[in-house]
Amino acid sequence: MKSRLSVIALALSTVVAGHALAADTTVSKTRAEVRAELAEAIRSGNMLANGETGATFKDLYPHRYAQPVVSGKTREAVKAELAEAIRNGDMVANGETGATFKQLAASSYAAAAERVTAGKTRDEVKAELAEAIRNGDMLANGQTGVTLKQLYPDLYPKATLAQGKTRGEVRAELVKSRASNGG
C-alpha cells in the first residue's frame, strides 16, 4: 500500500511541477519566434550534427557556412589598393611561382614609375600623353617594355642634343635690333 501511495504522490508532483514550468512567462516564445530561431540555426550551422560529441554542422563542415568577415578597410580603400598594385606591378602574374608582373617585366614598371608624378591636372596629363604619342615614347607591347620609338626609329623625330632659340626669342631679338638701329 505504501508503494502504491508513493507512486501516486510521485505522479501528482510530476504533473504539478510540469504545469508550473510550462506556465513560466519569462521563457515563453511565440511559434514564429521559435521557427525564426530554428531557421537561423540551420542557416548558420549551429544545429547539433552529432548528439554524442556535441559537434555542430558548422564545426564539421566549415566550408559550407559563411565565415565572419573581419576587415578594417572600406570598399574604396581596397579598390584604391588594388589599382595601386596593378599600377606598380605588384599583382601575381604566375600563380605557380608567385612571380609578380614587376619581377617578370621589370623594365616596364621601372620606366612607368619614373614617369609618374603627382599633382598633375587632366589637361597636363593629356598634353603629356599627346607628346608621348608624337615622340614615340609609348610602350609598344607590355611584355618587353620596348617603346614605339625604339621599335620604329624612322617614324619619329630624332632627339636634338642642343636646342636653338625658339621662334619667339628670334622675333624678340629682331624687334630689339630694329629698335636699336632706328628702323
pLDDT tens readout for residues 130-169? 998 888 888 887 777 788 888 888 888 776 665 678 888 8
- Give me the percent of the chain exceeding a pLDDT of 90: 8
Note the pTM of the prediction, 2 decimals. 0.27
Q: Which residue has the higher pLDDT, 117 or 54?
A: 54
Mean pLDDT of 75-99: 85
Query: Which cell goes with 81?
Result: 589598393
Q: Say if residue 145 is exposed, middle or buried (CB neighbours under 10 Å; 0-12, 13-18, 19+).
A: middle
Over range 85-95, report the average pLDDT.
82
| Phi, psi values for residue 16, rounded to 5° | -65, -45
pLDDT on residue 126: 92
Question: Domain segments of the chain: what residues?
Answer: 48-88, 104-158
Mean pLDDT, to the nearest integer, of 110-132? 77
Cα–Cα nearest to 142, from 91, 92, 106: 106
Does 62 score more than 80 pLDDT?
yes
Average pLDDT over residues 99-115: 72
Q: Which amino acid is at 55?
A: A
